[in-house]
Structure 1
Amino acid sequence: MAREQGHKIVAQNKKARHDYHIDDTFEAGLVLVGTEVKSLRQGRASLVDGFAEVDRGEAWLLGVHIPEYSQGTWTNHSARRKRKLLLHRSEIDKIERKTSEKGYTLVPLSLYFKDGRAKVEIALARGKKAYDKRQTIATRTAEREKQQALGRHLKGMSD
């Protein structure tokens, strides 16, 4: 059988970019059991309540929901179990230093397959305040309106 190539996104956490200022991102491998991989290949996962932490020198992914595999037997996994992240020691040390600072947290941004291997993109992030969220929305709306006005101008339509 030919080896898988490419990048297949399984789940994205769009709310994370809205709720947090993203400072740094890391790509980490995941330690999974067979039924979790099969469930992910069906495109079933949710990162909404997920977060990561460093515990005794190891990085862990918690709160990520990978539903049970429908054809699984008694060997099926639990949906919200703790999953180990595969990172280099220097990356774990950097993450541990940053998360010990006040206000930093580790959130998953996306879960995907890269060349047949399950990967998760995690980010060091700081929470946004309510006024930051409103400002982000206002900036995005203004940019969209500007692009629409430019498009109308180029097509010769009047405002």
Structure 2
Amino acid sequence: MNDFDISFSPAIYNRRENDYIKSIQIDHILVAPSGIFLIETKNWSVKSLQDLNLRSPVQQIKRTNFVLFKLLNKEISNSHLSLGKHHWGDKKISIKNLIVLTNTRPKEEFQYVKIVTLNELLSYINYFKPVFSNYETKRIAEFLLEINNQKTIET
């Protein structure tokens, strides 16, 4: 999915960050058997990477992850999104945060966010083993498409 963009009424509260989230936008969401990949793409120069006035894509993707995790788990607990059961308990919703930079990337690594270049993207995604069946992958994708089409979600 490209340009995933939704708003919330009322805002979703993230207690850990003391943040009221009224909307989220993510460049791309890939739903695959190996998990859900939130992908923010940037075509930034070295100068842009050092510019303190630019909004942090790390913070942006972490906010989106929080909201999607909350929405997906609410659907699972309400049994609207049924994932296969295991006798040990409910399956984990695996959401991976990726920032893909087309030019250069910072040397630093960030907690909960993987930064890769465009050339590294496919091998990074292929690294992960499947955790969802094809049916579960399809159900998750359908749910995300449905909420993206709504544009505003009553929370």
Rg comparison, structure with higher value: 1
Shared fold (TM-score, shorter chain, > 0.5) = no
- TM-score when normalising by structure 2: 0.24
- Tell me the TM-score normalized by structure 1: 0.23
